[in-house]
Amino acid sequence: MSLAIVPGSFDPLTMGHLDLIRKAAKRYDEVVVAVMVNPAKRYCFDMKTRLEIARLSVADIPRVSVIADRGLLIDLYDRLGAKAVCKGWRNEEDYAYEIRMADWNRAHNPRFRTELIHSRGEFADLSSTAVRQKLLRGEIPEGWVHPNALQIVLTKLKKGESET
Ligand code: PNS
């Protein structure tokens, strides 16, 4: 039985993340999507909402579950008996960042294995930031998040303000 973790902030989980999760599910028997906290970030959606969006988004993918974790990824890794952490990368900047994270995690847990998966195709440029910016402009990020999660995501839609 092989288990992989797909960790992230998922603020919110996008169709790009879903593509990564599906790829991870092809390579491992079980995939745990871990909604975590990056101390360097301020979040648009609170943990409960990020978790709910993630759960609705993966509901139709077999062998994939979603958990919330506020601790360290290196600890979660051992607790779940994971074989790998799968992270996606879109460009050089992502890649350099993920290599640094992978090195840090391995330095603190020698069992830690990171599998970097390149995002290609339709969702290659998609990001949670792009979804949030669309919401801020009052636009609907249709096609960028899973249709089942769209209603919750739209609670952050900026309503037009009348000028005075
Ligand atoms: O989607 P993100 O923000 O790139 O995800 C980053 C995340 C949440 C995976 C990363 O910040 C993380 O591993 N957080 C858990 C806390 C931890 O292990 N910190 C030590 C490394 S910074």
CA 31 to chain centre: 13
Where is pLDDT greater, at 162 or 115?
115
pLDDT class of 161 with cuts at 50, 70, 90: low
pLDDT class of 163 with cuts at 50, 70, 90: very low
Residue 25 has pLDDT above 90, yes or no: yes
Report CA(10)–ligand 1 centroid distance (Å): 11
Residue 159 has pLDDT above 90, yes or no: no
Instruction: Determine the residue of 20, 21, 37, 38 to mutate for testing ligand 1's pocket, defined as the one with the most ligand atoms within 8 A of the Cβ atom.
Output: 38
Mean pLDDT of the chain: 95
Element (H or E) spanning 7, and its range?
Answer: strand 3-8
What pLDDT, on the 0 to 100 scale, is given for residue 158?
Answer: 87
Peptide bond just before 62 cis, omega within 30 deg: no
Which pTM value belongs to this model? 0.95
Report CA(151)–ligand 1 centroid distance (Å): 27
Residue 125 has pLDDT above 90, yes or no: no
Report CA(21)–ligand 1 centroid distance (Å): 17
Residue 68 CA: distances (Å) to CA of 72, 102, 123: 12, 20, 25
Atom of ligand 1 nearest to the CA of 37: 8
- By CB atoms closer than 10 A (0-12, 13-18, 19+), residue 52 is middle
Atom of ligand 1 nearest to the CA of 69: 15
Atom of ligand 1 nearest to the CA of 101: 21
Q: Decide whether any atom of ligand 1 lies within 6 Å of the 9 Cβ.
A: yes
Element (H or E) spanning 3, and its range?
Answer: strand 3-8
Residue 21 CA: distances (Å) to CA of 18, 69, 122, 124, 157: 5, 18, 15, 14, 26
Q: Decide whether any atom of ligand 1 lies within 6 Å of the 16 Cβ.
A: no
